[in-house]
Structure 1
């Protein structure tokens, strides 16, 4: 970690052998697409200016920082949990799964994971939840940026497959435009069927089909 608030993490092990990764997810709230997670181990000798919670950065700034993180970090990894896994496990457990996958995919094995939020995935290494960590811990901020940019890119790709939903504009979130297109076209294969707005549309389309039979 670098440039952290003095005293904020005095409880962490103070050891030169400690390898700390920051972990965050993106995409818990949307109605469509996978949930993404990233894990980042920063290099204290190669600080990256401007790291903070990805939600507080413009898209242009995130797109500038993401390649800098990848180029300067000691290790980074991005993982996901699919729509099917979200529907099967629930979004919280799918997010935990994506975060665990990201940590396990790191080329350097960390000894400690700092997780944004108030829960930690079950992992082989020690983990600590940090509420608001994406704006307090540089490594978590970096993970937030990588997860967000990766998920946004994935939704742009999904837009090419399903242009009628305008995924490139709302990235799967339940905006008025998305809900309008969802009601008009029904659910696509990448919509999360366990989410209430999608489930409602599925029921409405099933009722229409039943009435027409």
Structure 2
């Protein structure tokens, strides 16, 4: 059964700072949980490609400057921070492909990728901060769901950057393997160009057949 955080539970996890900071991690350390990993995913909404998750344990003495929700950053900023995070933090990445998504549904496939990313860390976390409303099932340590976590926790923000940059690069390569769909431009999202390409050529193996308009009821 998926673990979730009730939306009306009062705690400091619900109070978002103007930019993400390290307060949630410090609160966990004060409670005896250290180190703390942040986890997030990229690619839940597209019609094609994998959902990619990352887990990050930051070094409190070497937190890269400018960490924020990946959606709030420019391509140049994300690329710089991607390199900075890899150089200073413990990082693990995992993905769930289109068939996994179609078989399990996107939520479960996303949470499974997050779980595997956490399990792949070279340092075992004592607490996990997970973006969203659900804690990935099967963790070996306590987890906390943090709504809009990429805007609250620098660890989750770092994971969001790693996941997005990784997935964007994967979709650029997908555009070379499956030309004509424009994956390198829209990363699999349902743009007018992408939908027109599906109408003209039909789906390819990267498409999620349970997503509308691909799903046949």
Three-state SS of the structure 1 residue aligned to 2:193 is helix
In terms of Rg, which structure is larger?
Answer: 1
Three-state SS of the structure 2 residue aligned to 1:169 is helix
Q: State the match for 2:46 in structure 1.
A: 30
1:116-159: CA deviations, max 9, x gaps? 01111111211000011101100000000000000000000100
Q: State the match for 1:153 in structure 2.
A: 169
Is residue 119 of structure 1 aligned with residue 134 of structure 2? yes
Distance 2:120 2:25 in 1: 25
Unaligned runs of 5+ in 1: 204-213
Distance 2:104 2:32 in 1: 38
Q: State the match for 1:88 in structure 2.
A: 103
Matching of residues 51-130 of structure 1 within 5 Å: 51-73=67-89, 75-122=90-137, 123-130=139-146
Matching of residues 128-167 of structure 1 within 5 Å: 128-167=144-183
Normalised by the length of structure 1, the TM-score is 0.88
Q: State the match for 1:4 in structure 2.
A: 21
Cα 1:88–1:17, aligned 2, differ >3 Å: closer, same or farther? closer
Unaligned runs of 5+ in 2: 1-19
Aligned-residue offset at 1:12: 3.1
RMSD: 1.8
Q: State the match for 2:204 in structure 1.
A: 188
1:20-56: CA deviations, max 9, x gaps? 0000000000000010000000001112100000011
Aligned-residue offset at 1:5: 7.1
Aligned-residue offset at 1:198: 1.6
Normalised by the length of structure 2, the TM-score is 0.86
